[in-house]
Structure 1
């Protein structure tokens, strides 16, 4: 559990937890308003891509005003933590309802579908695709209405962001990495509707490949749903996105026409009453039934400024922060958001310089079952050619006990390449102090190669830290190659050209390298070899991209 807590709130209990963080029940101290606070996991705070995605989720919620979507109150960030404070939806997830109560009657299933489709329609209207509609992300409240939650991997419509989502509800085009579209949300909503009616998902498989093939090629099992809604299911689960309703609002119109014709004018009232009765059987699972509040200790009180545009955050401003602390928060926010350099000893510098070495699993939203890849809304398509901007720092022998792989970052940097075209290279100010020509030094033996801090920093970018240890100060060549593939364990195919760095004059070298990938692939690998070759030949590390962290 994170030690850091959002200032100005009294927390009472945990509503859920996942690999990306946790959601807690809290009360705003000044107003008494109950809220849900979603904390980003401590392990992800040092990974800029996840922090950026978390911040993007808050921005998206702040601009989405809908009675069918859990609303945002504020976003709070400091070097010690990040949190989204949002509307508390006092309901149970559709997944819980289906697990505890079994399949729904058609009228109740149609009410659930309509309510969450209206939330999708409001998102589609502002150009946002949810990409992870599923029973875990639909909350049903005691009056039988529902709300949509967890926009953790939502993106702008038309954005090419790779494979992401929950496999059982992913449209055929999502499996191929096609640009995000509202039609994919319609497919996922229909798959959930099918599960509400039948008690099981439309397609299953022993592995992801088999499941993908069934979503792409298998006939729609429409015979398992009641006859009056078969055409609705066929439309929503069409393999070709062009044959589905183009966005949720169109699908709502079709749903209302089908439901009215099949079940009469009172279908919605009856369906909502049935849902309310089912939720009443699960009252002890509602957030409002949780234990009384307890006070937590605030260890940081950094609140970023909130936008005032229409459709943004609510007018009340939780927390009171002094002017000096507000200025510090703004500076930290700017450093975190834009990657501005910071002094190594400052808190902002420590936050910006931290890095993790492995990828993580699924992320949660207002309910903790979402996918991990909190992708920024403005994720660019992959560029036509790879780019790499390596930097390097080297020392002689590191002091005993230095375990931090970034500890050499403050050492004098050695340029790895000539200045770029158009840049300025300042010559030595004293032409008489010419550098002596080094005498020939024999090539050393390479004792060790390490790859650490390999992380995805954006939809198509990654960085890593390379360490090379030798037994002498002679010249050594370090070659870094990047790969993409779809199978774990195997490096896959090379992605772009290898990067080669020449080093000499020390016995330990640390290189920070980054890469922009050209090719799609669920797995990225970075491999390193040296000349002279190391005793172990080389080193590599692989990660599963956020786009492919699917369940």
Structure 2
């Protein structure tokens, strides 16, 4: 088993391990900052599909800035291993809280739902759908606030990404492989909200086919929830996506109006206080496990299937829902056997870079630890409550508890951390002295360009090359008053040099000095990209079109 560790970090102990890897508590040697490092297991690192997803998650998180989502500091990959360096969240998983005390008081459940919806809303604003919201992926902190984690199977809004998710929380449209949409995240968040209110999942089938039919055509069990919030449950668990709030931000407005009217203006303070007490108690009761040997990580990807709670037996499917049975069986097969999927056109792991490829991620908007990203496409995230929760592929279609499609994420983590304060873009020197191979730049693509404040914006840029030789990337920002035309350059250009990979994603932040209605960002490369570089423009919220 590999003993590879991320260079520049001193590991202190293991926080959790699971089928697809492990999460370790570590300290950044340069700053003394405590972090969570999530390692992809050695067995999955040799499977291109899993490595590709691990990178994709890192790229996604690099462009997501949210106080309600655990932040990414660094993604590192070398021929010896792959890891994501994440914010260490001081907290405990919602699943642990529900295991100790369920149901929760309505105010506490509403606070949890609001915090999660705010995190989902930040993802939805940049076109990202989580697709695997569930209690294991919500961390509750000692102050009663929460953070959303694990974007391992997230997808772009509107893309057809196949059947994926955890069946107990999957929206009806997810069972048929419909395109990803924010409405599916709203459904999953409401299913979790229902579980917080009642102590059980909204639907519990004996197998995947029965569970699918219940989600698609079963009655919404809103009457089991407290009367004041039943309308929220009905809205969020509506069968058709169009009958639910369009996205998480819309649902927050409905939630606040309902909560204030039913429980008074101080509902949030009371609910947060209750959650704080539960989280603090749970953290005290958690075992302080020593570092485990690295060979304890499972070397095959599988799902540990739990026992299902009481089954709903009174409901009978209608004629329409019988058509879903075949889709549910297909879903079971995909969930069961999708584990060995390969990414088309992806090279062998041995052809990966001989050196780490590093980009700088700045989750706090002022700078951060160097963030590393490498060849093809990524997908990872870290979270945890000192225990790992394996969530990879289903090994049987006869049980329905917590089954997810193959995803490199497995463990969640905890511990408080302030954002790092490293400045300016940084570069990691290659670890080999052999001559740098020639490289051609195939494309430059921007993603997630959005306004984050009155004068601030964030974006990410992805550069794809046909070799692992060095490439220089220059990013410039501009402001202006005309749509479609480049404005005046705003501030100094940022320059980055990358090598050792065939794909680099850089998280970008800018504080604008100009007063134009339009903000722009442009990236060019040397060698010059085949597409000539890329640029994007957005209309700021401080200006209104007439």
Shared fold (TM-score, shorter chain, > 0.5): yes
How far apart are the structure 2 equivalents of 1:106 and 1:216? 26
Equivalent position of 2:189 in the other structure: 189
Shift in CA distance, 270/148, structure 1 to aligned 2, threshold 3 Å: same
Question: In the TM superposition, what whole-angstrom CA distance separates every residue of 1:478-512 from its partner, at most 9, and x where no partner exists?
Answer: xxxxxxxxxxxxxxxxxxxxxxxxxxxxxxxxxxx
The counterpart of 1:337, out of the listed 342, 352, 376, is 376
User: Deviation at 1:273?
Assistant: 0.3
Deviates more, 1:10-19 or 1:232-241: 10-19
Shift in CA distance, 19/375, structure 1 to aligned 2, threshold 3 Å: closer
Deviates more, 1:104-113 or 1:14-23: 14-23
How far apart are the structure 2 equivalents of 1:197 and 1:52? 38
Question: In the TM superposition, what whole-angstrom CA distance separates every residue of 1:268-320 from its partner, at most 9, and x where no partner exists?
Answer: 00000000111121123669x6669999xxxx995322156x8698723359x
Equivalent position of 1:366 in the other structure: 383
Equivalent position of 2:449 in the other structure: none
CA contact (8 A) 1:21 1:39 kept: yes
- Give ranges in structure 1 of 5+ residues lacking alignment: 320-328, 339-362, 377-551
Shift in CA distance, 45/312, structure 1 to aligned 2, threshold 3 Å: farther
How far apart are the structure 2 equivalents of 1:52 and 1:170? 24
CA contact (8 A) 2:26 2:36 kept: yes
Question: In the TM superposition, what whole-angstrom CA distance separates every residue of 1:182-205 from its partner, at most 9, and x where no partner exists?
Answer: 000000000000000110000001
Equivalent position of 1:315 in the other structure: 367
Question: In the TM superposition, what whole-angstrom CA distance separates every residue of 1:379-413 from its partner, at most 9, and x where no partner exists?
Answer: xxxxxxxxxxxxxxxxxxxxxxxxxxxxxxxxxxx
Shift in CA distance, 264/302, structure 1 to aligned 2, threshold 3 Å: farther
How far apart are the structure 1 equivalents of 2:258 and 2:132? 25
Structure 2 residue matching 1:306: 3-state secondary structure: strand
Residues 45-444 of structure 1 mapped to structure 2, 5 A cutoff = 45-284=45-284, 302-307=355-360, 315-317=367-369, 333=374, 336-337=375-376, 365-367=382-384, 368-369=388-389, 370=391, 371-374=404-407
Equivalent position of 2:508 in the other structure: none
Using CA pairs below 8 Å that are at least 6 residues apart, which structure has the higher relative contact order? 2
Shift in CA distance, 375/36, structure 1 to aligned 2, threshold 3 Å: closer
Residues 430-509 of structure 1 mapped to structure 2, 5 A cutoff = none
CA contact (8 A) 1:64 1:312 kept: no
Question: In the TM superposition, what whole-angstrom CA distance separates every residue of 1:93-118 from its partner, at most 9, and x where no partner exists?
Answer: 00000001221100000000000110
How far apart are the structure 2 equivalents of 1:311 and 1:17? 26
How far apart are the structure 2 equivalents of 1:217 and 1:255? 25
Shift in CA distance, 107/222, structure 1 to aligned 2, threshold 3 Å: same
User: Deviation at 1:152?
Assistant: 0.3
How far apart are the structure 2 equivalents of 1:80 and 1:239? 46
Query: What TM-score results when the alignment is normalised by the length of structure 2?
Result: 0.57
- Give ranges in structure 2 of 5+ residues lacking alignment: 295-352, 392-403, 410-546
CA contact (8 A) 2:235 2:244 kept: yes
How far apart are the structure 1 equivalents of 2:208 and 2:290? 40
How far apart are the structure 2 equivalents of 1:71 and 1:285? 26
Shift in CA distance, 301/10, structure 1 to aligned 2, threshold 3 Å: farther
Shift in CA distance, 107/312, structure 1 to aligned 2, threshold 3 Å: closer
Question: In the TM superposition, what whole-angstrom CA distance separates every residue of 1:419-459 from its partner, at most 9, and x where no partner exists?
Answer: xxxxxxxxxxxxxxxxxxxxxxxxxxxxxxxxxxxxxxxxx
How far apart are the structure 2 equivalents of 1:233 and 1:258? 11
How far apart are the structure 2 equivalents of 1:364 and 1:75? 10
How far apart are the structure 2 equivalents of 1:366 and 1:226? 31
User: Deviation at 1:366?
Assistant: 2.2
- Residue correspondences, number: 333
How far apart are the structure 1 equivalents of 2:365 and 2:49? 24
CA contact (8 A) 2:13 2:292 kept: yes
CA contact (8 A) 1:17 1:364 kept: no
User: Deviation at 1:163?
Assistant: 0.4
Shift in CA distance, 233/4, structure 1 to aligned 2, threshold 3 Å: same
Equivalent position of 1:15 in the other structure: 15
Query: What TM-score results when the alignment is normalised by the length of structure 1?
Result: 0.57
How far apart are the structure 2 equivalents of 1:2 and 1:285? 32
Residues 510-549 of structure 1 mapped to structure 2, 5 A cutoff = none
Larger radius of gyration: 1
Equivalent position of 1:420 in the other structure: none
Equivalent position of 1:29 in the other structure: 29
Question: In the TM superposition, what whole-angstrom CA distance separates every residue of 1:350-402 from its partner, at most 9, and x where no partner exists?
Answer: xxxxxxxxxxxxx98424434453499xxxxxxxxxxxxxxxxxxxxxxxxxx
